[in-house]
């Protein structure tokens, strides 16, 4: 496995692979890798000959008050994990390299309709930053296939839409959420939780499961279920950003006739913002 920090080295490695007729898979990450990230590589493996993992804490997807400065940067430990997981190349550029000297570059990629709801409502500009950096990665790596985790369901939907709309010849593969034994979705941000918050955190997933069960038992009053779930979480010490039962295809609020449902939540525990979701098919609606 090699690590490159500049675009020229990445491009020449990619063109060598291409000359040899190899298919390339890309796992974009912000590093501080856990088992969920390594699953992305496992998912890619059957679809490609070479795996590229990018590690880049992207400044344009963080608001000024967010955790860009404190986001854990653990390149050496990540390299060891990636090597063991069969990664071929790590692309770890600086912000200067990635954004050609100015993060405030003039071009932004906007996926309209999908960027201002759910997480986008409380993180204005976040998904523009994500769509822009992933477009740049797609252009640099030119992968045949790219893999994203289902924990960031809105990100996954938006990037699928972007790939379609901008005619990137890339297959997007998704990877189910990896969970701790108590159900908490794996996230680099879990390490911000105090021991007491960590004990309470699995309540997020339990509440999602409770609402899913209510839906499966025939409850179609989604707005009432959202209010009930928010109440449960707030009572357990979370500050709920949203609890939403949405159409999994459009991310818009679900109606009683919607068949593909997304039950999604974002909530703060202390200063840590956690997200999670479940999808379900509501065929009898
Ligand atoms: O999901 C992430 O880690 C990031 O949003 C991504 C896709 C690597 C873009 O910076």
Which atom of ligand 1 has the smallest separation from the CA of 57? 10
Which atom of ligand 1 has the smallest separation from the CA of 54? 8
Domain ranges of the chain: 2-175, 188-277
Distance 231 CA to ligand 1 centre (A): 30
- In this structure, which residue's CA is closest to atom 2 in ligand 1? 29
Domain spanning 2-175: CATH superfamily: HUPs (3.40.50.620)
Pocket test for ligand 1, best of 91, 155, 175, 177 (most atoms within 8 A of CB): 155
pLDDT for 284:
55
- In this structure, which residue's CA is closest to atom 3 in ligand 1? 29
| 270 phi/psi in degrees, rounded to 5 | 60, -125
Q: What is the mean pLDDT of residues 47-59?
A: 98
Distance 47 CA to ligand 1 centre (A): 21
Q: Please classify residue 175 by burial: count the beta carbons closer than 10 Å to its beta carbon, then call 0-12 exposed, 13-18 middle and 19+ buried.
A: buried
**Cα separation of 156 and 4, whole Å?**
26
Check pLDDT > 80 for residue 283: no
The tens digit of pLDDT for each residue in 233-268 reads: 999 999 999 999 999 999 999 999 999 999 999 999
Instruction: Tokens for 27, please give them.
Output: 């796992």
pLDDT for 104:
86
Q: What is the mean pLDDT of residues 166-177?
A: 98
- In this structure, are residues 169 and 205 in contact, taking their beta carbons and an 8 Å threshold? no
pTM for this entry? 0.97
Residues of the chain with pLDDT > 70: what percent?
99
pLDDT for 285:
44
Instruction: Examine the residue annotation and report whether 37 is marked as an active-site residue of this protein.
Output: yes
One fold for both 2-175 and 188-277? Answer: no
> What's the residue count for the chain?
285
Given this structure, which CATH class describes domain 188-277? alpha beta
**Cα separation of 55 and 4, whole Å?**
10
- In this structure, are residues 253 and 244 in contact, taking their beta carbons and an 8 Å threshold? yes
The tens digit of pLDDT for each residue in 241-250 reads: 999 999 999 9
| Distances in whole angstroms, Cα of residue 265 to Cα of each of 170, 241, 256, 269, 283 | 29, 8, 19, 13, 23
Radius of gyration in angstroms for the set of CA atoms belonging to the chain, rounded to a whole number:
19
Which atom of ligand 1 has the smallest separation from the CA of 134? 9
Instruction: Tokens for 249, please give them.
Output: 């295809």
Pocket test for ligand 1, best of 58, 123, 160, 173 (most atoms within 8 A of CB): 58
Residue 215's CB is within 10 A of a number of other CB atoms, namely 21
Q: What is the full DSSP assignment across 54-111?
A: EE---GGGS-TTSSTTTS---HHHHHHHHHHTT--EEE---HHHHTTT-TT-S-----
- As for ligand 1, residues whose beta carbon falls within 6 Å of it are 28-30, 58, 61, 130, 133-134, 152, 155
**Cα separation of 269 and 189, whole Å?**
11
Catalytic residue among 5, 34, 37, 102: 37
CA 246, 252, 255, 259 torsion: positive or negative?
negative
């Amino acid at each position: 496995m090699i690590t490159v920090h500049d675009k020229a080295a990445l491009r020449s490695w990619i063109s060598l692979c291409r000359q040899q007729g190899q298919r390339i898979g890309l796992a974009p990450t912000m590093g501080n890798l856990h088992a969920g990230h390594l699953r992305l590589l496992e998912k890619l493996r059957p679809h490609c000959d070479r795996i590229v993992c990018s590690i880049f804490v992207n400044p344009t997807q963080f608001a000024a008050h967010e955790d860009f400065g404190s986001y854990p940067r653990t390149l050496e430990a990540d390299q060891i994990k990636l090597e063991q997981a069969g990664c071929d190349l790590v692309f770890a550029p600086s912000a200067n390299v990635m954004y050609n000297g100015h993060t405030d570059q003039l071009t932004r990629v906007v996926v309209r309709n999908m960027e201002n709801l759910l997480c986008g409502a409380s993180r204005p500009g976040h998904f523009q930053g994500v769509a822009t950096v992933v477009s740049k990665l797609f252009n640099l790596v030119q992968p045949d296939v790219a893999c994203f985790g289902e924990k960031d369901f809105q990100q996954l939907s938006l990037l699928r839409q972007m790939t379609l709309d901008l005619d990137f010849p890339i297959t997007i593969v998704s990877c189910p959420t990896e969970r701790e034994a108590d159900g908490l979705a794996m996230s680099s941000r879990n390490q911000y939780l105090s021991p007491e918050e960590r004990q309470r955190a699995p309540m997020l997933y339990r509440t999602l499961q409770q609402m899913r069960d209510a839906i499966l038992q025939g409850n179609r009053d989604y707005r009432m279920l959202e209010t009930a779930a928010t109440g449960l979480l707030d009572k357990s010490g979370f500050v709920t950003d949203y609890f939403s039962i949405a159409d999994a295809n459009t991310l818009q609020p679900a109606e009683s006739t919607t068949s593909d449902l997304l039950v999604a939540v974002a909530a703060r525990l202390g200063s840590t913002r956690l997200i999670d979701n479940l999808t379900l098919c509501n065929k009898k609606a």
